[in-house]
A = this chain, B = another copy of it.
Amino acid sequence: MTHNDAPGSKIPMVVIKRLPVYQRYLSELQKKEVERISSGELAAKIGITASQLRHDLSCFGNFGQQGYGYKVDDLLFEVNKILGLDHNIYMVLIGAGNLGRAVLSYPNFLSRGFIFKAAFDQKQPPVNLNIEGILVQPVRELESYLKEQLIDIGVITTPAANAQEIADILVAGGVRGIWNFAPISLKTPENVVVEHVHISESLLVLSYQLCHKGFGRLPVSY
C-alpha cells in the first residue's frame, strides 16, 4: 500500500503503534543535533529491521533520499504531522485522584500540544485543588462545561465502576476521543475513539514472563 492509494485504504494498527516509537527516537536524534540517518541505522537503534521501518513509512509518503537516507528534522516533522502533533489538542480529565493528578501535572503533554483545559472530581478533597494551574471542579458541572467548551479528548482516571457513566457524559458532550486508564472496556459509538492504557495488564505480562523463564519450558517468542 502506498500513500497514493484510493480513499478507504487502511493503515494497519500495528504500524500506527510503532509511529510514537519512531517519533521518540527521532526527537532524541534531533536533540543530539544529528542531521541525517539511514533506515538501517535508525532501525538498529530501535531494534527492528530496516525493511519494516521503510515499509511503515511508505504508508504515508516518500520522506527519504536514495543514497543519502533521511534528514532527521524533515522526517520528524513528517512523523509529527502524521501523529497530529502539529496542532493543539484540548483535553479534560475526570477523576483527580492519585493517577489523575500525576497525569495532570506531567509537563511533557503540554509541551507537545496536549492541553488540559479542566479537571473534575466527585469528592471534596480533590475539588477546589489547584493542580499545575488547573482548578478541579465538581463533576456535576462536567456536562454543562462540555456544552460551552470544544474539547477533543476526555481522560478518565476514575475507578472502573464510574468509568462508563463518565464516558457517556463525555460522548454526549461531543468529545471525539477517550483516553481511559480504568481497567474496563468502555462502550462508545463508532465515531468516538477509545484508547485504553493497560497499566495492570502490563504488570501481568511481566509476571507471566518471570514465571516462565529459565526453565526451558514455555518461553516467549517476540
Contact of A20 among B47, B99, B106, B204 (CB under 8 A): B204
Once the chains bind, are A102 and B108 in contact (CB under 8 Å)?
Answer: no
Give Cα A191–Cα B201 distance, bound, in whole angstroms: 21
A97 CB contacts on chain B under 8 angstroms: 102
Once the chains bind, are A108 and B221 in contact (CB under 8 Å)?
Answer: no
Give Cα A108–Cα B183 distance, bound, in whole angstroms: 11
| Contact residues of A between 1 and 44, Cβ < 8 Å to B | 7-13, 16-17, 19-21, 23-24
In the complex, residue of chain B having the shortest beta-carbon distance to the beta carbon of A222: B13
Q: Say whether, besides A153-B206, A210-B152, A98 and B105 are in contact (CB < 8 Å).
A: yes
A173 contacts the other chain (Cβ, under 8 Å)? Answer: no
Give Cα A214–Cα B8 distance, bound, in whole angstroms: 11
A205 CB contacts on chain B under 8 angstroms: 16-17, 19-20, 195
Once the chains bind, are A47 and B185 in contact (CB under 8 Å)?
Answer: yes
Once the chains bind, are A206 and B201 in contact (CB under 8 Å)?
Answer: no
Please, how many residues of chain A have a CB less than 8 angstroms from a CB on the other chain?
Answer: 70
Once the chains bind, are B209 and A193 in contact (CB under 8 Å)?
Answer: yes
Q: Say whether, besides A47-B185, A109-B203, A210 and B193 are in contact (CB < 8 Å).
A: yes
A102 CB contacts on chain B under 8 angstroms: 97-99, 101-102
A19 CB contacts on chain B under 8 angstroms: 204-205, 208
Additional A-B contacts beyond A89-B210, A101-B102 (20; CB < 8 A): A8-B216, A10-B219, A12-B221, A16-B208, A16-B220, A17-B201, A19-B205, A21-B201, A23-B204, A83-B211, A99-B102, A102-B102, A108-B200, A114-B203, A152-B210, A153-B206, A177-B210, A179-B203, A195-B205, A197-B198
